[in-house]
């Protein structure tokens, strides 16, 4: 019997609606709809370009810092000879990485564990979230919604006292990760390639992954097996991968956005194909051992997706520890880049918690003439047709009525507010 | 005490900021979330639409929009239904209070009672029981503290815009580490430095913005102005103004004066302060003092 059911998915930084089309007890097709929109891109038009530094963090309450960094990169891209000190670049990398860490903790504990009927003390999420907020604030003034990254560097001078505060909290955070998420040596865990070895450890990650296996859900949520990463730094590499076949070169000219009927979200394609972005995509590009093994066994399923995301935490912890140690405080925090050109175009790309975030702006007569934001959730949740379904749609299609559709959906970590920018 | 948190057009920044409240876990023991956009709640949103009982405090978040439908019902109607029942209404953030950023993104958008500083009157029946907590986002201590005081029935004196005076009688300038540069009218400021005040050139609104940012520090450790970022006036009815990072001027003097300070008083004091050259403000803070 064919049946159509509309469901509200909530607590995804806002809401989305999914219209399921069932046929013979299975999802035959699913439409993902975002029904509200805020109009940030329009609000920016006609404004002084620097205003974007204030307005854009407010695109999102959970990943707003990624929007700030994307904004400053887009503005800096408008200059031809802008100088940025290694210190400023590193401090920005740090605060951005802290936001990724915080988002990963929040998603794992607030979204994923409850859907697996697992409980953890509330402090498992509150403590790391609060500490990471403090770490960003020590360098950037506040969290959420600061505007400390500006063309040419950062607004603040960083003192050894600030950095000391960050370092102490970093140690605390490592302890919390080992005590709560998984009891391992970070260095060894990053190299680990055996699922069984991970499952044998103590912690909420092995508990969660074991629960998925026990329920026989490890192969659910498989999608198009195409991955894309636009951001590039010392931690992530840009490129696309189809299964495990990599291609490093990407060209933004092949990116195409289209509107979706009945939804306020725009779909985004690369060379007319949908791609998954986010931690699983980043892990596939980097071929990180444990995620590669999960993918070999279970494909691009919710098991691989959840594992990939949590496994970014130890990598981010090591990355940020090395960054902190390498900062030379004698360098300039800000190098005056002079006024922005009156006519220019710029692009800013960031790897945000949920995947690649792209800001593009055009300046005319000294004002913002056009501003476009492509968010990770547009890649993952963008609606396609029955013939060419989007990433999350593909993951939902074929699910049995008894299958955990909400978990499949939320394993992507949807950011509704970003999508309804 | 039972809380119902409803979000209209929001970024969720207020909800996330609240999670940073240092005593959140213990604080929360005094409350029950009938609905919260992030945290486990007694009801699903669909049930809230169908109708739930026992709302004591209604928390309104995000910019309202005429005709907005989040799922099945017109949001403003849902809001009015629970607003009538609630003992008290708290607007969290500048969007829900004055309209904020998103009010600029479409027609028919506003805060619960205000379009910027103008009372629009659409929810006037609830004005007397509304507390305004503007801020983008609102500081967690402000929201948690207000809710606790309401729960305990402690006096909570409000100003003309219904902001609790305990938090909003201060300006963001109060407690800024750059205050001496303001007092002595050292108008040079360079980004990336510990020294200098952003009032003169870089658009800092701290002296005329109501808020406790530099009294109750952000995340308990810092603030935007201490970190060299100008205050953007995010708690004020007219947030966000235009050309935020540049000070607009009349005859070379900042156009907007510190809260309640007549222009003449400012000019007289500035003239005196500027007559002196104080060596300490002309050298880097970390350099040795000269004999």
Nearest CA in chain B to A114: B40
String of b and e for A214-247 (b: at least 16 CB within 10 Å)? eeebbebbbbbbbbbbbbeeebbebbbbeeeeee
Best interface-test mutation with B: which of A44, A115, A143, A334 has the largest number of B CBs within 10 A?
A143
Nearest-CA neighbor of A333 among A165, A149, A76? A149
Angle at B194 between CA A333 and CA B235, to 5 degrees: 100
CA of B149 vs chain A CAs: smallest distance (Å): 23
Q: Taking all residues of chain B, what is their mean pLDDT, rounded to a whole number?
A: 96
Q: Provide φ and ψ at A234, rounded to 5°.
A: -75, -10
pTM: 0.97
Predicted pLDDT of residue A10:
83
Best of B229, B238, B242, B286 to substitute, by most chain A Cβ atoms within 10 angstroms, is: B229
Helix (H) or strand (E) holding A360: strand A355-364
Question: Which chain B residues are Cβ-neighbours of A139 within 8 angstroms?
Answer: 227
Closest CB to A40 among B105, B190, B229:
B105
Q: Which helix (H) or strand (E) holds B182?
A: helix B179-183
For residue A48, say if its preceding peptide bond is cis, omega within 30 degrees of 0.
no
Q: Is the pLDDT of residue B199 over 90?
A: yes
Give per-residue pLDDT as tens, A12-29. Answer: 878 888 999 999 999 999
Contact (CB<8Å) B226/A141: yes
**Mean pLDDT value across residues B1-27:** 96
Give the distance from residue A1's alpha carbon to the nearest chain B alpha carbon, in angstroms.
26
Q: Which residues of chain B neighbour A154 with C-beta distances below 8 Å?
A: 191-192, 228
Chain A residues lying within 8 Å of B7, measured CB to CB: 14
Q: What count of CB pairs under 8 Å joins A to B? A: 199
DSSP string for residues in A100-128 = HHHHHHHIIIIIIHHHTT----THHHHHH
* Section B238-261 average pLDDT: 96
Stretch B257-279: mean pLDDT: 95
Nearest-angstrom CA–CA distance, B169 and B173:
12
CB A62 to CB B12 under 8 A?
yes
Query: Which residue does chain B place closest to A133, by CA atoms?
Result: B219
Contact B213 A142 (CB under 8 A): yes
pLDDT reported for residue B230: 98
pLDDT > 70? residue B291:
no
Q: State whether A146 and B17 contact (CB < 8 Å).
A: no
| Confidence at residue A1, expressed as pLDDT on a 0 to 100 scale | 59
Contact B105 A110 (CB under 8 A): no
Domains of chain A: residue spans and CATH: 39-393 (1.10.645.10)
Q: Which segment of B55-59, B226-230, B272-276 scores lowest on mean pLDDT? A: B272-276
The pLDDT assigned to B289 comes to 76
Say how many Å lie between the first and final Cα of chain B, rounded: 61
Least CA distance to A37: which residue of chain B?
A: B9
Rg for chain A (alpha carbons), in Å?
21
Distances from the Cα of B140 to the Cαs of A82, A143, A421, B21, in angstroms? 37, 11, 24, 5
Name the phi and psi angles at A22, rounded to 5: -95, 145
Q: Count of residues for chain B? A: 291
Q: How does pLDDT run across B139-181, given as a tens digit for each residue?
A: 999 999 999 999 999 999 999 999 999 999 999 999 999 999 9
Interface contact A58-B11, CB threshold 8 A: yes
- Å between B242 CA and nearest CA of chain A: 7
pLDDT at B290 over 90: no
For residue A95, what are the β-bridge partners? none
Query: How many CB atoms lie under 10 A from the CB of residue A329?
Result: 13
Which domains are assigned to chain B? Answer: 2-164 (3.40.50.700), 170-278 (4.10.480.10)
3-state helix, strand, coil in chain B (%, to 5): 30, 15, 55
C-beta atoms of B102 and A150 within 8 A: no
Within 8 A of B220 by CB-CB distance, chain A residues are 134, 137
Regions of chain A with pLDDT less than 70: 1, 262
CB contact under 8 A, B37 and A53: no
Note the Cα A101 to chain centre separation in Å.
Answer: 10
Q: What angle do CA B65, B67, B69 make, to 5 degrees?
A: 95
């Amino acid at each position: 019997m064919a049946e159509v059911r509309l469901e509200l998915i909530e607590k995804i930084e806002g809401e989305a609606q999914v219209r399921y089309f069932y046929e013979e007890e299975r999802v035959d097709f699913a439409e993902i709809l975002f029904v509200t929109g805020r109009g940030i891109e329009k609000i920016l038009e006609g404004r002084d370009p620097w205003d974007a530094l204030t307005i854009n963090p407010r695109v999102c309450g959970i990943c707003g810092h990624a929007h700030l960094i994307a904004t400053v990169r887009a503005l800096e891209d408008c200059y031809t000879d802008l100088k940025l000190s290694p210190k400023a670049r590193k401090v920005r990398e740090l605060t951005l990485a802290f936001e990724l860490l915080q988002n990963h903790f929040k998603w794992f504990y607030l979204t994923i564990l409850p859907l697996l009927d697992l409980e953890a003390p509330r402090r498992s999420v509150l403590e790391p979230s609060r500490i990471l907020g403090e770490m960003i604030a020590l360098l950037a003034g506040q969290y959420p919604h600061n505007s400390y990254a500006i063309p040419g560097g950062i607004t603040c001078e960083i003192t050894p006292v600030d950095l000391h505060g960050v370092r102490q909290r970093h140690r605390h955070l490592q302890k919390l990760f080992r005590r709560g998420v998984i009891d391992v040596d970070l260095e060894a865990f990053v190299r680990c390639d055996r699922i069984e070895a991970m499952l044998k450890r103590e912690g909420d990650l092995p508990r969660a992954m074991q629960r998925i296996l026990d329920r026989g859900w490890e192969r659910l949520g498989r999608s198009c097996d195409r991955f894309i990463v636009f951001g590039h730094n010392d931690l992530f590499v840009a490129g696309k991968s189809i299964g495990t076949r990599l291609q490093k070169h990407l060209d933004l000219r092949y990116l195409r956005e289209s509107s979706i009927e009945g939804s306020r979200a725009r779909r985004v394609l690369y060379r007319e194909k949908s791609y998954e972005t986010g931690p699983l995509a980043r892990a596939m590009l980097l071929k990180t051992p444990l995620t590669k093994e999960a993918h070999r066994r279970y494909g691009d399923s919710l098991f691989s997706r959840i594992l990939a995301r949590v496994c970014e935490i130890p990598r981010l912890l090591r990355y940020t520890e090395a960054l902190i140690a390498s900062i030379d405080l004698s360098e300039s925090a800000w190098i005056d880049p002079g006024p922005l050109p009156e006519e220019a175009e710029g692009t800013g790309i960031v790897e945000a918690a949920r995947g690649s975030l792209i800001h593009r702006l055009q300046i005319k007569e000294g004002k913002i003439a056009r501003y476009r934001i492509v968010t990770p959730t547009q890649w993952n949740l963008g609606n396609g047709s029955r013939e060419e379904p989007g990433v999350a749609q593909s993951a939902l299609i074929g699910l049995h009525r008894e299958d955990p559709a909400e978990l499949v959906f939320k394993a992507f970590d949807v950011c509704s507010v970003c999508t309804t920018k | 005490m039972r809380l119902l948190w409803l979000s209209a057009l929001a970024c969720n920044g207020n909800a996330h900021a609240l999670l940073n409240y240092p005593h959140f876990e213990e604080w929360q023991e005094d409350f029950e979330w009938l609905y919260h956009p992030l945290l486990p709640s007694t009801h699903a949103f669909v049930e809230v639409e169908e109708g739930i009982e026992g709302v004591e405090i209604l928390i309104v978040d995000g910019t309202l929009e005429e005709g907005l439908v989040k799922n099945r019902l017109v949001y403003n109607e849902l809001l009015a239904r629970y607003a009538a029942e609630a003992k008290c209404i708290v607007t969290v953030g500048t969007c829900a209070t004055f309209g904020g950023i998103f009010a600029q993104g479409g027609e028919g958008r506003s805060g619960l009672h205000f379009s910027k500083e103008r009372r629009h009157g659409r929810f006037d029946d609830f004005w007397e029981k509304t507390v305004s907590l503007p801020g983008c986002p609102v500081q967690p201590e402000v929201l948690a503290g207000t809710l606790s005081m309401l729960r305990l029935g402690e006096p909570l004196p409000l100003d003309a815009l219904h902001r609790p005076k305990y938090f909003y009688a201060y300006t963001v300038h109060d407690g800024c580490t750059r205050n001496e540069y303001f007092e002595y009218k050292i108008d040079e400021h360079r980004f990336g430095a510990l020294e200098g005040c952003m009032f003169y050139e870089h658009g800092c609104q701290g002296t005329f913005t109501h808020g406790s940012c530099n009294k109750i520090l952000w995340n308990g450790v810092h603030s935007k102005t201490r970190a060299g970022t100008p205050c953007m006036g995010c708690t004020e009815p007219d947030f966000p103004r235009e050309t935020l990072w540049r000070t607009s001027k009349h005859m070379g003097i900042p156009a907007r004066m510190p809260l309640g300070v007549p222009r003449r008083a400012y000019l007289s004091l500035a003239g005196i302060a500027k007559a002196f050259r104080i060596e300490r403000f002309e050298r880097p803070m970390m350099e040795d003092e000269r004999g």
